[in-house]
Amino acid sequence: MNIKKMAIGCDHAGFPYKDSIKALLQGRGIEVTDYGTNSLDSVDYPDFIHPVADDVEKEKVDLGIILCGSGNGASMTANKHQGIRAALCWSNEIAALARQHNDANILSLPVRFVSEAEAHEMVNTFLDTAFEGGRHARRVGKIACV
């Protein structure tokens, strides 16, 4: 997958990593739509996650990254969208498997539980890992509720 555009969004807990991840993406030549938040002031994560999921679902961007304290609220919110497969990742191996086996289209990062360096490693792995297809495609095809 040749990734050209991505969306990113976070709550106040995810904000400390957002700008460095955004810079990492831009350094790879990726155009980034930033939905905020832009401070440590307490906010409601769905307000910043839904726009990312909308962009991915409507194919305005290739992939998304969402961040919150545990990563759970962000991934639960994104996964309410029919075309989204947001993966909560806490290790590089999980990030690779999320792409290889689940064709994840949004990476959810638990900022309070991973270092910034680990988050960057997971972002790079998420971007560089392709979906394997095959038996996994059949399974991914059964995820959506229609």
Whether residue 120 lies in the annotated active site: no
CB under 8 Å to 84, separation ≥6 — which residues? 53, 56, 57, 78, 105, 106
Active site residue 10: no
Taking Cα atoms as reference points, which of 121, 128, 119, 106 lies closest to residue 61?
Answer: 106
From 10, 12, 68, 81, active-site residue: 68
Catalytic residue among 50, 101, 120, 136: 101
- CA distance linking residue 76 with residue 72, whole number of Å: 6
User: What are the catalytic residues?
Assistant: 68, 101
